[in-house]
Amino acid sequence: MDKESSSLNQYSSANAFKNADTGNNIVYDTQDLNLWYGQTHALKNIILPIYEQEVTAIIGPSGCGKSTYLKTLNRMVELVPGVRTSGTIKYRNKDILDKSFKVEELRTKVGMVFQKPNPFPKSIYDNIAYGPRIHGIRNKKVLDQIVEKSLRGAYIWDEVKDRLKENAYSLSGGQQQRICIARCLAIEPDVILMDEPTSALDPKSTLKVEELIEKLKKDYSIIIVTHNMQQAARISDKTAFFLNGEVIEYADTNFLFSTPKDKRTEDYITGRFG
Amino acid sequence: MVAREQFQIELDKVKAMIIELARGTESLLRDAVKALYTADIELAKQVIAYDKELDKRDFEINEAAVLLIAKQQPVASDLRRLIVAIRISSDLERMGDNAKNIAKSTIHLGEKHGIQIHGAIEDMKDIAIRMIDLSVKAYENEDITLARKLAELDDLVDGMYSTVLRELLEETATNPEKIQHIMQMAFSGRYIERFGDHATNIGENIMYLVKGESFDLNE
């Protein structure tokens, strides 16, 4: 990595709990993270800050480790057999990789949206109420409120308010994805992880989800893995470019897409490889 | 480089179009000043006609660059390359206009004006030609050292223009009946001075292309 230029290196873990430019608090502080799938070294010495009320985009060619990194942030990666990690990921100052850390705590704080919309084969209402019910909320009035608030939060309330009892599968792909985002919001998370959330959507639905992301960042920290570089440029505040398991460059999105410092970043974003 | 070969080919095409336009502008200035010195009205008319052709080239470069931006959605240096192509093309078009204006002055002066064209105008033209030559090389090689040199040459042209203007002013005092003619000569000097400014803009654009920051070499 270009040591001088990467703004990553201007970031020092010891005292950088706020973003120097925005004053935003740090949410995830990743230090020297390494991850192996068996013999494969999938993430190498990752150092990356994630700030609240910002959208952080992770870009890079297939197999560069971006989805692995995302799944490490909610420890979903542990579901893969033979995974080992070293280093630390501090979420709100607690190391989530530490044995004593309870993964359940993370699940209530970190929501995730996947590439393919994955609503439950239930009514729209039950999809949203699912999380809160698991957390023991039974009161119909409270559930009604949560459902409405979450659907409004995902800007889909007006489209579905008269058909809450209908199966979520009856909605379009774009609507289903926003239902999944609403389902995320129902547990009142702190962070939303998005793994290529629009790659299966048509341009119009993509635009709606992008607009939603822009609105959501006022209240949530969003980390989005995307193959669509124009999308990363449009919606994110910070961008990290991953290549072969390393963070090659991390910078303000405006900066990274106009004057990247590392030639590999330039080559990737201008489509010269990947 | 594997991907986007077609895009690279198209970028190279735009570059070649710019260089061709620059060469056209260069010969336009040569002919315009030659016509001025030799009171060659026919050549001056050819300059005016050829300037229209250069305007068309500028338009074509703009079209090609805008289409590439729309089709390829370039970022970083690729985007700057196209933005800069549009800007340089526009500067070259304006340089062509300046040459055309010299030709118009030549026509105003007519064949038998009986005044001596100031020798420094020819010298200014030589430096302006060097500037366009330099700007083409700087653009071809994306060479910011050459780009910076344009500013130095531009200072030289500016200085010469001030001298020409002062001397021509003096001449208006001694030859008031020739004032119309002398003014056409002063205008021609001014057109070459502007020609140099546009060449300097090309230098600024090359610096922007390479560095990704804006520079003012005309200060």
Q: What is the per-residue pLDDT across A27-73, written as a single tens digit (0 to 9) for each?
A: 999 999 999 999 999 999 999 999 999 999 999 999 999 999 999 99
Q: Considering only the beta carbons, identify the residue of A230, A266, A272 that sits closest to B1.
A: A272
Q: Which of residues 216-235 of A touch B (CB under 8 A)?
A: 229-230, 233
pLDDT band for A20, please (50, 70, 90 cuts): low
What would you report as the CA-atom Rg of chain B, rounded to the nearest whole angstrom?
Answer: 19
Q: Extract the tokens encoding A177.
A: 């994805």
Q: Tell if the CB–CB gap between B75 and A269 is shorter than 8 Å.
A: yes
Lowest mean pLDDT among A15-19, B36-40, B126-130: A15-19
Mean pLDDT score, A17-23: 67
| A152 contacts: CB under 8 Å, gap ≥ 6 | none
Question: How many inter-chain contacts (A to B, CB under 8 Å) are there?
Answer: 35
pLDDT score recorded for residue A262: 95
Give the gap in angstroms from C-alpha A243 to the nearest C-alpha of chain B.
Answer: 17
Q: Considering only the beta carbons, identify the residue of A230, A269, A273 that sits closest to B76.
A: A269
Kindly list the distances between the CA atom of residue B29 and the CA atoms of A64, B20, B22, B98, in Å, as whole numbers in the listed order: 55, 14, 11, 8
Report which of A35, A77, A72 is spatially closest to residue A50, judged by C-alpha positions: A72
A263 touches chain B (CB under 8 A): no
How confident is the prediction for chain A on average, in pLDDT?
A: 90
Query: What tens digit of pLDDT does each residue of B179-216 get?
Result: 999 999 999 999 999 999 999 999 999 999 999 888 88
**What per-residue string of b and e applies to A1-37 under the rule 16 or more CB within 10 Å gives b?**
beeeebebeebeeeeeeebeeeebebbbbbeebebbe
Residues of A in contact with B72 (CB under 8 A): 271
Helices (H), chain A: 66-73, 103-109, 124-134, 140-153, 157-160, 173-186, 203-216, 229-235, 253-258, 263-269
In this predicted complex, what is the ipTM?
0.71
Q: Tell if the CB–CB gap between A258 and B79 is shorter than 8 Å.
A: yes
Q: Extract the tokens encoding B131.
A: 């500037």
pLDDT band for A119, please (50, 70, 90 cuts): very high
pLDDT band for B80, please (50, 70, 90 cuts): very high
Q: Tell if the CB–CB gap between B4 and A266 is shorter than 8 Å.
A: no
The SS3 call for residue B89 is: helix
Give the chain B residue whose CA is nearest to the CA of A260.
B76
Residue B198 and residue B98 in contact, taking contact as beta carbons nearer than 8 Å: yes
A266 touches chain B (CB under 8 A): yes
**What phi, psi does A236 have (nearest 5°)?**
-100, 155
Q: Which of residues 56-75 of B touch A (CB under 8 A)?
A: 72-75
Mean pLDDT score, A227-246: 95
pLDDT band for A17, please (50, 70, 90 cuts): low
Please tell me the pTM assigned to this model.
Answer: 0.81
Residues of B in contact with A269 (CB under 8 A): 75-76
Give the gap in angstroms from C-alpha A242 to the nearest C-alpha of chain B.
Answer: 18
pLDDT score recorded for residue A163: 96
pLDDT band for A205, please (50, 70, 90 cuts): confident
Strand order in the sheet with A191-195: A110-113, A191-195, A221-225, A55-59, A238-243, A246-252
Query: What tens digit of pLDDT does each residue of B127-179 get?
Result: 999 999 999 999 999 999 999 999 999 999 999 999 999 999 999 999 888 89
Q: Give me the domains of chain B, ranges plus CATH numbers.
A: 3-211 (1.20.58.220)
Mean pLDDT score, B94-119: 93
Mean pLDDT score, A143-163: 94
pLDDT at A15 > cutoff 50 = no
pLDDT at A1 > cutoff 70 = no
pLDDT score recorded for residue A108: 87
Give the gap in angstroms from C-alpha A61 to the nearest C-alpha of chain B.
Answer: 13
pLDDT score recorded for residue B2: 45
Lowest mean pLDDT among A15-29, A144-158, A206-220: A15-29
A140 touches chain B (CB under 8 A): no
Q: Quick one: what percent of chain A has pLDDT higher than 70?
A: 92
Q: Where is A27: in which H helix or E strand?
A: strand A26-37
